[in-house]
Protein backbone atom coordinates (compact mmCIF):
# COMPACT_ATOMS: atom_id res chain seq x y z
CA UNK A 1 0.00 0.00 0.00
CA UNK A 2 2.82 2.39 0.89
CA UNK A 3 4.51 1.65 -2.44
CA UNK A 4 1.25 2.31 -4.31
CA UNK A 5 1.15 5.75 -2.69
CA UNK A 6 4.82 6.43 -3.33
CA UNK A 7 4.50 5.88 -7.09
CA UNK A 8 1.58 8.34 -7.05
CA UNK A 9 3.80 10.91 -5.30
CA UNK A 10 1.78 11.09 -2.09
CA UNK A 11 3.44 13.08 0.67
CA UNK A 12 5.21 11.17 3.48
CA UNK A 13 2.67 12.51 5.98
CA UNK A 14 -0.24 11.20 3.90
CA UNK A 15 1.43 7.81 3.55
CA UNK A 16 2.02 7.64 7.30
CA UNK A 17 -1.57 8.66 8.04
CA UNK A 18 -3.25 6.24 5.62
CA UNK A 19 -1.10 3.25 6.56
CA UNK A 20 -1.57 4.01 10.27
CA UNK A 21 -5.36 3.83 9.99
CA UNK A 22 -5.37 0.68 7.86
CA UNK A 23 -2.95 -0.95 10.31
CA UNK A 24 -5.24 0.00 13.21
CA UNK A 25 -8.20 -1.39 11.26
CA UNK A 26 -6.39 -4.73 10.80
CA UNK A 27 -5.33 -4.90 14.46
CA UNK A 28 -8.87 -4.10 15.61
CA UNK A 29 -10.13 -7.33 14.03
CA UNK A 30 -6.89 -9.29 14.34
CA UNK A 31 -7.06 -10.24 10.66
CA UNK A 32 -5.46 -9.45 7.35
CA UNK A 33 -7.60 -6.57 5.96
CA UNK A 34 -7.86 -8.43 2.64
CA UNK A 35 -10.07 -10.92 4.50
CA UNK A 36 -12.42 -8.22 5.76
CA UNK A 37 -15.40 -6.71 3.98
CA UNK A 38 -18.00 -3.89 3.97
CA UNK A 39 -19.66 -4.93 7.24
CA UNK A 40 -16.29 -4.96 8.99
CA UNK A 41 -15.54 -1.47 7.70
CA UNK A 42 -18.90 -0.26 9.02
CA UNK A 43 -18.27 -1.80 12.45
CA UNK A 44 -14.82 -0.19 12.54
CA UNK A 45 -16.32 3.20 11.75
CA UNK A 46 -18.88 2.81 14.52
CA UNK A 47 -16.07 1.79 16.90
CA UNK A 48 -14.16 4.96 16.03
CA UNK A 49 -17.24 7.08 16.74
CA UNK A 50 -18.66 5.35 19.82
CA UNK A 51 -15.61 3.93 21.59
CA UNK A 52 -12.61 5.99 20.50
CA UNK A 53 -14.55 9.27 20.22
CA UNK A 54 -12.41 10.10 17.17
CA UNK A 55 -12.67 13.53 15.61
CA UNK A 56 -14.35 13.78 12.23
CA UNK A 57 -10.99 14.71 10.77
CA UNK A 58 -9.46 11.45 12.03
CA UNK A 59 -12.55 9.56 10.91
CA UNK A 60 -12.23 10.84 7.36
CA UNK A 61 -8.48 10.14 7.28
CA UNK A 62 -9.34 6.53 8.09
CA UNK A 63 -11.95 6.53 5.32
CA UNK A 64 -9.39 7.83 2.82
CA UNK A 65 -6.89 5.19 3.89
CA UNK A 66 -9.39 2.36 3.63
CA UNK A 67 -10.72 3.58 0.28
CA UNK A 68 -7.21 3.71 -1.12
CA UNK A 69 -6.33 0.27 0.24
CA UNK A 70 -9.43 -1.43 -1.11
CA UNK A 71 -9.75 0.47 -4.41
CA UNK A 72 -6.07 0.61 -5.43
CA UNK A 73 -4.05 -1.98 -3.53
CA UNK A 74 -6.68 -4.73 -3.26
CA UNK A 75 -9.08 -3.58 -5.99
CA UNK A 76 -12.47 -4.24 -4.40
CA UNK A 77 -15.45 -3.01 -6.44
CA UNK A 78 -17.62 -2.28 -3.40
CA UNK A 79 -15.34 0.34 -1.89
CA UNK A 80 -16.78 3.73 -2.86
CA UNK A 81 -20.41 3.02 -2.05
CA UNK A 82 -19.72 1.18 1.22
CA UNK A 83 -17.21 3.46 2.94
CA UNK A 84 -18.97 6.78 3.59
CA UNK A 85 -17.25 9.97 4.70
CA UNK A 86 -18.36 11.76 7.85
CA UNK A 87 -19.79 15.26 7.70
CA UNK A 88 -17.25 17.62 9.25
CA UNK A 89 -18.84 20.54 11.16
CA UNK A 90 -17.88 23.90 9.68
CA UNK A 91 -16.45 26.22 12.31
CA UNK A 92 -15.02 29.71 12.01
CA UNK A 93 -11.37 29.95 13.05
CA UNK A 94 -10.25 31.81 16.13
CA UNK A 95 -8.14 34.87 15.32
CA UNK A 96 -6.04 37.19 17.46
CA UNK A 97 -5.75 40.95 17.24
CA UNK A 98 -2.34 42.61 17.26
CA UNK A 99 -2.58 43.36 20.99
CA UNK A 100 -3.31 39.72 21.75
CA UNK A 101 -0.42 38.59 19.57
CA UNK A 102 1.89 41.01 21.40
CA UNK A 103 0.70 39.63 24.74
CA UNK A 104 1.21 36.07 23.55
CA UNK A 105 4.73 36.77 22.33
CA UNK A 106 5.68 38.62 25.52
CA UNK A 107 5.12 35.35 27.41
CA UNK A 108 7.65 33.39 25.32
CA UNK A 109 11.21 33.65 26.65
CA UNK A 110 13.17 31.12 24.58
CA UNK A 111 14.60 32.90 21.53
CA UNK A 112 14.23 29.96 19.12
CA UNK A 113 10.62 29.32 20.11
CA UNK A 114 9.90 33.03 19.95
CA UNK A 115 11.32 33.30 16.43
CA UNK A 116 9.23 30.37 15.20
CA UNK A 117 6.07 32.01 16.55
CA UNK A 118 6.97 35.32 14.93
CA UNK A 119 7.52 33.61 11.57
CA UNK A 120 4.15 31.84 11.87
CA UNK A 121 2.40 35.16 12.38
CA UNK A 122 4.54 37.37 10.14
CA UNK A 123 4.51 35.06 7.11
CA UNK A 124 1.28 33.13 7.66
CA UNK A 125 2.99 29.76 7.45
CA UNK A 126 1.73 26.39 8.57
CA UNK A 127 3.73 24.98 11.47
CA UNK A 128 5.29 22.24 9.34
CA UNK A 129 6.28 24.82 6.70
CA UNK A 130 7.99 27.04 9.26
CA UNK A 131 9.88 24.19 10.91
CA UNK A 132 11.14 22.87 7.57
CA UNK A 133 12.60 26.20 6.48
CA UNK A 134 16.30 26.15 5.61
CA UNK A 135 18.81 28.96 5.45
CA UNK A 136 18.76 29.04 1.65
CA UNK A 137 15.00 29.64 1.72
CA UNK A 138 15.54 33.21 2.97
CA UNK A 139 16.09 35.59 0.06
CA UNK A 140 17.06 38.83 1.79
CA UNK A 141 17.81 40.61 -1.51
CA UNK A 142 14.27 40.13 -2.80
CA UNK A 143 12.71 40.17 0.68
CA UNK A 144 11.05 36.82 0.14
CA UNK A 145 10.74 33.55 1.98
CA UNK A 146 10.54 30.37 -0.09
CA UNK A 147 8.21 27.69 1.18
CA UNK A 148 9.48 24.42 -0.28
CA UNK A 149 6.95 21.66 -0.87
CA UNK A 150 4.24 22.97 1.40
CA UNK A 151 0.83 21.35 1.70
CA UNK A 152 -0.13 19.78 -1.62
CA UNK A 153 3.57 19.41 -2.54
CA UNK A 154 3.71 22.98 -3.85
CA UNK A 155 6.42 25.62 -3.62
CA UNK A 156 5.52 29.26 -3.07
CA UNK A 157 7.07 32.57 -2.10
CA UNK A 158 5.82 34.86 0.66
CA UNK A 159 7.05 38.42 1.30
CA UNK A 160 8.94 39.24 4.48
CA UNK A 161 9.10 42.66 6.10
CA UNK A 162 12.38 44.39 7.03
CA UNK A 163 11.38 43.94 10.66
CA UNK A 164 10.97 40.19 10.27
CA UNK A 165 14.28 39.96 8.43
CA UNK A 166 15.97 41.79 11.30
CA UNK A 167 14.45 39.35 13.78
CA UNK A 168 15.72 36.41 11.73
CA UNK A 169 19.21 37.89 11.59
CA UNK A 170 19.28 38.39 15.35
CA UNK A 171 18.20 34.77 15.78
CA UNK A 172 20.84 33.51 13.34
CA UNK A 173 23.59 35.49 15.10
CA UNK A 174 22.73 33.76 18.37
CA UNK A 175 22.17 30.16 17.19
CA UNK A 176 24.13 29.94 13.91
CA UNK A 177 22.03 27.17 12.30
CA UNK A 178 23.73 25.46 9.37
CA UNK A 179 20.92 23.56 7.65
CA UNK A 180 17.42 23.79 9.04
CA UNK A 181 16.60 27.28 10.25
CA UNK A 182 15.06 25.81 13.40
CA UNK A 183 16.95 22.57 14.08
CA UNK A 184 15.91 19.96 16.62
CA UNK A 185 18.25 17.83 18.70
CA UNK A 186 20.73 17.72 15.80
CA UNK A 187 21.37 20.18 13.00
CA UNK A 188 20.05 17.83 10.28
CA UNK A 189 16.51 17.45 11.65
CA UNK A 190 13.89 20.18 12.23
CA UNK A 191 12.46 21.11 15.61
CA UNK A 192 9.57 18.90 16.70
CA UNK A 193 6.21 20.58 16.09
CA UNK A 194 4.87 19.38 19.45
CA UNK A 195 7.35 21.71 21.16
CA UNK A 196 5.87 24.82 19.51
CA UNK A 197 2.32 23.62 20.06
CA UNK A 198 3.02 23.36 23.79
CA UNK A 199 4.82 26.71 23.85
CA UNK A 200 1.87 28.49 22.21
CA UNK A 201 -0.66 26.84 24.51
CA UNK A 202 1.28 27.82 27.64
CA UNK A 203 1.91 31.36 26.38
CA UNK A 204 -1.79 31.86 25.62
CA UNK A 205 -2.66 30.73 29.14
CA UNK A 206 -0.08 33.08 30.69
CA UNK A 207 -1.38 35.94 28.53
CA UNK A 208 -4.92 35.12 29.73
CA UNK A 209 -6.27 34.87 26.19
CA UNK A 210 -9.72 33.35 26.49
CA UNK A 211 -9.62 31.60 23.13
CA UNK A 212 -8.42 28.23 21.94
CA UNK A 213 -5.00 29.20 20.56
CA UNK A 214 -2.76 26.95 18.48
CA UNK A 215 0.12 27.68 16.10
CA UNK A 216 -2.42 27.62 13.26
CA UNK A 217 -4.33 30.44 14.98
CA UNK A 218 -1.42 32.73 14.09
CA UNK A 219 -1.86 31.84 10.41
CA UNK A 220 -5.57 32.66 10.65
CA UNK A 221 -4.70 35.94 12.36
CA UNK A 222 -2.24 36.80 9.58
CA UNK A 223 -4.85 36.18 6.88
CA UNK A 224 -7.62 38.07 8.67
CA UNK A 225 -5.30 40.98 9.38
CA UNK A 226 -4.36 41.26 5.71
CA UNK A 227 -8.01 41.16 4.67
CA UNK A 228 -8.95 43.87 7.14
CA UNK A 229 -5.99 45.95 5.90
CA UNK A 230 -7.45 45.86 2.39
CA UNK A 231 -5.36 43.15 0.72
CA UNK A 232 -7.14 41.39 -2.16
CA UNK A 233 -8.63 38.02 -1.26
CA UNK A 234 -7.02 36.32 -4.27
CA UNK A 235 -3.61 37.62 -3.22
CA UNK A 236 -4.19 36.27 0.30
CA UNK A 237 -5.10 32.89 -1.18
CA UNK A 238 -1.80 32.79 -3.07
CA UNK A 239 0.20 33.85 -0.01
CA UNK A 240 -1.40 31.12 2.09
CA UNK A 241 -0.86 28.46 -0.57
CA UNK A 242 -4.51 27.42 -0.73
CA UNK A 243 -5.31 24.99 -3.53
CA UNK A 244 -8.91 26.22 -3.65
CA UNK A 245 -10.11 29.80 -3.48
CA UNK A 246 -13.09 28.57 -1.47
CA UNK A 247 -10.77 27.79 1.43
CA UNK A 248 -9.77 31.44 1.66
CA UNK A 249 -13.41 32.58 1.60
CA UNK A 250 -13.80 31.60 5.26
CA UNK A 251 -11.86 34.74 6.21
CA UNK A 252 -14.29 36.90 4.27
CA UNK A 253 -17.14 35.25 6.12
CA UNK A 254 -15.37 35.88 9.42
CA UNK A 255 -14.85 39.51 8.57
CA UNK A 256 -18.52 39.89 7.63
CA UNK A 257 -19.54 38.30 10.92
CA UNK A 258 -17.16 40.42 12.97
CA UNK A 259 -17.50 43.50 10.74
CA UNK A 260 -16.78 46.78 12.46
CA UNK A 261 -15.67 50.27 11.61
CA UNK A 262 -12.91 50.19 14.23
CA UNK A 263 -9.24 50.26 13.31
CA UNK A 264 -8.27 46.86 11.84
CA UNK A 265 -5.56 44.71 13.36
CA UNK A 266 -2.33 44.60 11.40
CA UNK A 267 -0.14 41.56 10.90
CA UNK A 268 3.62 41.85 11.23
CA UNK A 269 3.87 42.13 7.44
CA UNK A 270 2.13 45.51 7.61
CA UNK A 271 3.89 48.52 9.14
CA UNK A 272 3.11 48.49 12.83
CA UNK A 273 5.77 50.41 14.76
CA UNK A 274 4.49 49.72 18.24
CA UNK A 275 4.26 45.97 17.73
CA UNK A 276 7.57 45.85 15.87
CA UNK A 277 9.35 47.71 18.70
CA UNK A 278 8.09 45.16 21.21
CA UNK A 279 9.34 42.30 19.07
CA UNK A 280 12.76 43.90 18.76
CA UNK A 281 12.98 44.63 22.47
CA UNK A 282 12.29 41.00 23.20
CA UNK A 283 15.13 39.91 20.93
CA UNK A 284 17.63 42.36 22.38
CA UNK A 285 17.05 41.28 25.99
Distance separating alpha carbons of residues 16 and 21, to the nearest angstrom: 9
- Confirm whether 242 is a catalytic residue: yes
186-150-134 Cα angle (round to 5): 35
- Confirm whether 280 is a catalytic residue: no
Domains and CATH numbers, the chain: 2-82 (1.10.150.130), 98-284 (1.10.443.10)
In sequence order, what are the beta bridge partners of 159?
144
The pLDDT tens digits of the residues spanning 99-145 come to 899 899 999 989 999 999 999 998 889 999 999 999 999 998 899 99
Distance separating alpha carbons of residues 112 and 261, to the nearest angstrom: 37
Distance separating alpha carbons of residues 146 and 154, to the nearest angstrom: 11
Catalytic residue among 70, 171, 222, 251: 251
**Residue 220 above 70 pLDDT?**
yes
**Residue 55 above 50 pLDDT?**
yes
Query: For all residues of the chain together, what is the average pLDDT?
Result: 83
For the ranges 47-61, 62-76, 86-100, 252-266, the lowest mean pLDDT is seen at 252-266
Pairing of strands 144-150, 154-159: antiparallel
Distance separating alpha carbons of residues 267 and 240, to the nearest angstrom: 14
The pLDDT tens digits of the residues spanning 246-265 come to 667 666 655 544 444 334 44
- Confirm whether 219 is a catalytic residue: yes
Catalytic residue among 24, 238, 242, 255: 242
Catalytic residue among 21, 112, 113, 126: 126
- Confirm whether 76 is a catalytic residue: no
Distance separating alpha carbons of residues 262 and 264, to the nearest angstrom: 6
Regarding pTM above 0.75, the answer is: no
Asked if residues 202 and 219 have their Cβ atoms less than 8 Å apart, the reply is no
Pairing of strands 138-139, 154-159: unpaired
Amino acid sequence: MAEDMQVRNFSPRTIDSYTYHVDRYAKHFGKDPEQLGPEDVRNFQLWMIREKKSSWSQFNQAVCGLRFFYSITCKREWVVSHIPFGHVPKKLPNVLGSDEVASLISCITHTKHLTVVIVLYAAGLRLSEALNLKLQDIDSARMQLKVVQGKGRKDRYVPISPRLLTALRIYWAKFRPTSFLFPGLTHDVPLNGAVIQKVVTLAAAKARINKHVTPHTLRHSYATGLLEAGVDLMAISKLLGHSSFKTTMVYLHYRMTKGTTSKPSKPFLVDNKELGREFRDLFLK
